[in-house]
Amino acid sequence: MHVLLIEDNKVNVILATRLLERFNCTVSSFPWGSDALAYLADRKSPRPHLMIIKASHLGIPNGHDTARILRTQAPFIHDALLQLTPIIGTIILRPGVNPYPENHTFMNDFLPKPVKKTAIHWVLLTWARRDPLALKAKL
């Protein structure tokens, strides 16, 4: 399974990559949403099976905007495989704060931070069943 990771913290990138590689995933990581969008706009780039995006207000575009652009703007809306690819946002759980604000509407699921092996495993098990490459033949 190929995972696209958008995370600007180098330590988090290393940890997430190591965890994902334990589950036989390959990882393409980008520090900013704009870098990932440029990568995905190139139709020759390998298509991810899953995208994990830092769901924060940092960066241009930020995690929320990156997910929105992927789901609503050209050239991404014309890529059926990309539209079927789950987008997983990472969130920091804080007591008394709703971890799922309304601006997360373009994300399919969430991973709490700090990301743990069991959480990654659960996300992979849940979303691997919706493998867009397996669905490609049906389109």
- What is the Cα–Cα distance from 99 to 110, expressed in whole angstroms? 9
- What is the Cα–Cα distance from 126 to 11, expressed in whole angstroms? 26
What's the predicted TM-score (pTM) here?
0.84
Q: What is the pLDDT of residues 87-105, one digit of tens each?
A: 998 887 777 766 565 556 7
Q: What is the pLDDT of residues 8-28, one digit of tens each?
A: 889 989 999 999 999 889 999
Domain ranges within the chain, ordered by starting residue: 2-136
Q: Closest by alpha carbon to 51, among 133, 127, 137, 122?
A: 127
Going through the chain in order, the beta strands assigned E by DSSP cover 2-6, 26-30, 50-54, 87-92, 109-113
Topology of the domain comprising 2-136: Rossmann fold (3.40.50)
